[in-house]
Structure 1
Amino acid sequence: MRLVFAGTPDVALPSLDALIASRHEVVAVVTRPDAPAGRGRRLAPSPVAERAAAAGIEVLKPARPRDPEFLERLAAIAPDCCPVVAYGALVPRAALDIPRAGWVNLHFSLLPAWRGAAPVQHAVLAGDEVTGASTFLLEEGLDTGPVFGLVTETVRPTDTSGDLLDRLSRSGAGLLAATLDAIEDGTAAPTPQPADGVSLAPKLTVEDARLDWSQPAFAVDRRARACTPAPGPWTTFRGERLRLGPVRPLPDAPALAPGELAVDRAGARVGTATVPVQLDQVQPAGKRAMAAADWARGTRPEPGERLG
């Protein structure tokens, strides 16, 4: 089939690579417009745009997928199908109707669980033991279309959302390629999503990533892992924001009050509503990330001094 691939960030690259290597023909990609990046905040193309350009594939960067110029170009390309992975914009009906086989979305959850922009983060935050990826026919609703196929993935006890998304992006790429093969062969059988088991996964904000030391250690651990690498877990110390990495519950450590900071040769620990947690890496405002123990020894916290 002739494909127009829609995607933007790094997580879409395994799927793009798999489709370029498949029996199908990727004739163009659709991606978000160039955006400021790096310290200089210069405009830079998306990872998908860069990969497509290197492969000699036409790159379309509409400000909005409903722009007439984009719709005209997409119709002229006449794709058979448009696979989608983390494109980052809503596809209007006028675009959905162009490819004969529709738009096939790879979504990183077991639908109908975790519909929305941040399914992997919410799976980690909720303490799910198993998640996965789904391919489904894109509709105007939020991740509501019939499902072609699923792959499952175990959520490991120390997984960050970045770790889990990396694995899902690779297993999901195989699922997406297999789904397109089945569509071309006429063997695809999309199944309507059940009405039960629906959960929503809105984008996590910076405020969502603030750690609450009055919660149990397992909840602090989940939130820190769910928000790594983005938007990045954080707290405050002496009135300034302190960005953190994942934490590790310490069931055998001496008790500390919620938010209380303790430093010794074993490292830096913080109290929660249950057991303390070990800090791994911290990044003070305006500084580079560093080992939490090094930061704590440098700041010399007073006895009983607290984070948050």
Structure 2
Amino acid sequence: MRLVFAGTPDVALPALNALVGSDHEVVAVITRPDAPSGRGRTLHPSPVAARAAELGIETLKPEKAGAPEVVARLTELAPDCCPVVAYGALLPQRLLDIPTHGWVNLHFSLLPAWRGAAPVQHSIMAGDQVTGACTFRIVKALDAGPVFDQITEEIGATDTAGDLLSRLADRGSELLLATMDALAAGTATPTEQPEAEVSYASKLTVEDAMIDWDRPAIEIDRIIRGCQPAPGAWTTLHGDRFKINSATVVEAEALPPRGLRVTKKAVQVGTGAGVLELGQVQAQGKKPMRAADWARGVTFAGDDSFG
């Protein structure tokens, strides 16, 4: 089949590479416009745009996905299908109607669970034991189209959102390719989603990542892992923002919520139920480091606590 691939971040690269290496023909890529990054805030192409350039594939970078020039070019390209992985923009109906087999999205949850922008993060934060990825036909409603196929993936006790998303992106690339193969062979059989089982996963904000120390330690651990690497779980200490990149629930003498216990080898924090031992932390203006190493450079008062 003739394909036009839509995607933007690193997580979309395994799927793009799998499709390029298949019997299908990727005739173009649609991605988000170049964005400023780094100290100089200079413009850089998205990871998908950079990879497409390496492969010599035509790349479209519209400010708006439904811009007339994009509609015109996609019509000229006449793709059989447009596979999508984390493109990052809404697709108007005039675009959805162009490919013969529509637009097929690789979504990192078991739909209808966790429709939305941050399914992996919300799955970890909710305490799910199993998640997965699925392919579905994009319709106007958010992540509501019929599902072609899915895979499942266990969520490990120490998995961060970054860990889990990396595994799902790798395995999901094979799933997306299998769906393209099935569409080409005429054997794809999509199934409508049960609307009664829908849950939503909105994009995480910095405010969502603020730790509430009155919650149980096990819940805070999930928030920390779900917010890693972005937006990064945080609290405050001495009025400054303080990031916590990893922590472990431990059996230890109880502490009041927010209370600190600092020894030569560990930094522990009290919660609403249980104690967390901090792993990697990042004080404001500092690089990430082991909590014990950070604590050795700080003078603590007897009543110090996190915000």
Contact 1:261 1:301 survives alignment (8 Å)? no
Runs (4+) off by over 4 Å: none
Structure 2 letter corresponding to 1:71: V
TM-score normalised per structure 1: 0.98
Alignment of 1:191-206 (within 5 A): 191-206=191-206
Equivalent-residue separation in structure 1 for 2:255 and 2:36 (angstroms) = 43
Partner of 2:270: 271
1:36-74, Cα deviation, whole Å (9 max, x unpaired): 111221110000000111011011000001111111111
Partner of 1:254: 253
- Alpha-carbon distance, 1:265 to partner: 2.5
Tell me the SS of whatever aligns to 1:196: helix
TM-score normalised per structure 2: 0.99
Partner of 1:36: 36
- Alpha-carbon distance, 1:290 to partner: 1.5
- Alpha-carbon distance, 1:261 to partner: 1.4
Equivalent-residue separation in structure 2 for 1:303 and 1:290 (angstroms) = 23
Structure 1 letter corresponding to 2:132: G
Is 2:295 the counterpart of 1:296?
yes
Partner of 1:116: 116
Equivalent-residue separation in structure 1 for 2:205 and 2:67 (angstroms) = 29
Partner of 1:285: 284
Tell me the SS of whatever aligns to 1:220: helix
Equivalent-residue separation in structure 2 for 1:272 and 1:266 (angstroms) = 20
Contact 2:136 2:146 survives alignment (8 Å)? yes
- Alpha-carbon distance, 1:77 to partner: 1.0
Aligned residue pairs: how many? 307
Structure 2 letter corresponding to 1:175: L
Contact 2:246 2:281 survives alignment (8 Å)? no
Equivalent-residue separation in structure 2 for 1:303 and 1:248 (angstroms) = 23
- Alpha-carbon distance, 1:221 to partner: 0.4
Partner of 1:211: 211
- The unaligned stretches of length 5 or more in structure 1 are none
Equivalent-residue separation in structure 2 for 1:220 and 1:297 (angstroms) = 24
Structure 2 letter corresponding to 1:234: W
Equivalent-residue separation in structure 2 for 1:264 and 1:226 (angstroms) = 27
Alignment of 1:98-117 (within 5 A): 98-117=98-117
Partner of 2:87: 87
Partner of 1:139: 139
- Alpha-carbon distance, 1:300 to partner: 2.0
Tell me the SS of whatever aligns to 1:301: coil
Contact 2:264 2:296 survives alignment (8 Å)? no
Is 2:50 the counterpart of 1:25?
no
